[in-house]
């Protein structure tokens, strides 16, 4: 057999190095490792901002006269639907989902005009807490901001439980119709307290964070209904709904069901 050329050996060595580096990078986002890293990163200005955020958010609710929902008061269907459509491995990763990120990067390479996701709930919360704009003026600023968001997500995963992260997210996220948080959104869309939302309403609300302006403009419109049924499909695929439950939620006059109390 002929000996491999120096170029072939270098290419093979480079491929092995890439795989090893990718594995090491991915290990940073395994929950136990991520929490350790997050603890180290927490000793910073961003860490102080994140640590103070729960108290600040409650103060804002008092100042602006809107109700804050503790985790036990949030309907489980909202939580299940949100995890399913926004971050299906939320309970497994340490703030960044390497699989979703790689998929998004691969899809972006094929079509960079469409946002393919990859952002976890923790990453989204970090962007909200640190008030980092989504659009940056340059490629360098974009990379810098993304790294800061990742750092913030790791700190969040260190500081808070998964339930607390969901609680903070669902009280802070903008959901359209001038409604920030699920309590305000329940009133804005359905004129009902959060605790009295039915299953369809819970599922509908979980689809709003992706693009509240588009999906919330007309709750009975084609865009909103397509998003609603997409959330149902992800819930069925991820084991949160049986086939029968999914069919029941997706069928019939959805707007009438959403308006029921």
Per-residue pLDDT tens digits of the chain, which is 261 residues long: 445 566 666 666 556 555 544 555 555 667 777 777 778 888 899 999 999 999 999 999 999 888 999 999 999 999 999 999 999 999 988 888 877 666 545 444 443 333 334 589 999 999 999 999 988 888 888 888 888 998 999 999 999 999 999 999 999 999 998 999 999 999 999 999 999 999 999 999 999 999 999 998 888 888 999 999 999 999 999 999 999 999 999 875 455 445 444
Helices 243-250 and 222-237 pack at an angle, to 10 degrees, of 170
Q: CA 219 to CA 225: how far, in whole Å?
A: 7
Instruction: Looking at the structure, give the CATH architecture of the domain made up of residues 177-261.
Output: Orthogonal Bundle (1.10)
Q: CA 175 to CA 186: how far, in whole Å?
A: 10
Every domain of the chain and the residues it spans: 22-71+91-172, 177-261
Q: Do residues 77 and 207 make contact, with C-beta atoms less than 8 angstroms apart?
A: no
Q: CA 241 to CA 81: how far, in whole Å?
A: 10
Q: Do residues 82 and 166 make contact, with C-beta atoms less than 8 angstroms apart?
A: yes
pLDDT for the residue numbered 157: 94
Neighbouring C-beta atoms of residue 221, cutoff 10 Å: 14
């Amino acid at each position: 057999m002929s000996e491999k050329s120096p170029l072939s050996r270098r290419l093979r060595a480079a491929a092995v190095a890439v795989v090893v580096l990718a594995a090491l990078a991915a290990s940073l986002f395994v929950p136990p490792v991520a929490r350790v890293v997050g603890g180290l990163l927490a000793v910073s200005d961003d860490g102080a901002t994140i640590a103070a955020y729960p108290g600040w958010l409650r103060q804002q609710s008092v100042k602006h006269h809107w109700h804050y929902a503790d985790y036990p008061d949030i309907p489980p269907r909202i939580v299940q639907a949100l995890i399913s459509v926004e971050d299906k491995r939320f309970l497994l990763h340490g703030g960044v989902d390497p699989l979703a990120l790689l998929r998004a990067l691969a899809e972006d390479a094929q079509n960079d005009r469409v946002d393919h996701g990859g952002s976890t709930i923790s990453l989204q919360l970090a962007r909200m807490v640190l008030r980092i704009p989504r659009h940056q003026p340059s490629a360098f600023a974009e990379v810098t901001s993304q790294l800061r968001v990742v750092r913030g997500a790791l700190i969040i995963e260190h500081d808070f439980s998964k339930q607390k992260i969901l609680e903070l997210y669902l009280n802070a996220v903008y959901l359209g119709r001038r409604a920030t948080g699920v309590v305000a959104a329940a009133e804005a869309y359905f004129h009902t307290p959060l605790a009295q939302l039915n299953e369809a309403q819970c599922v509908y609300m979980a689809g709003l964070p992706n693009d509240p302006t588009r999906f919330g403009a007309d709750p009975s419109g084609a865009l909103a209904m397509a998003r609603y049924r997409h959330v149902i499909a992800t819930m069925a695929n991820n084991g949160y709904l049986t086939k029968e439950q999914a069919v029941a939620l997706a069928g019939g006059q959805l707007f009438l069901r959403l308006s029921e109390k």
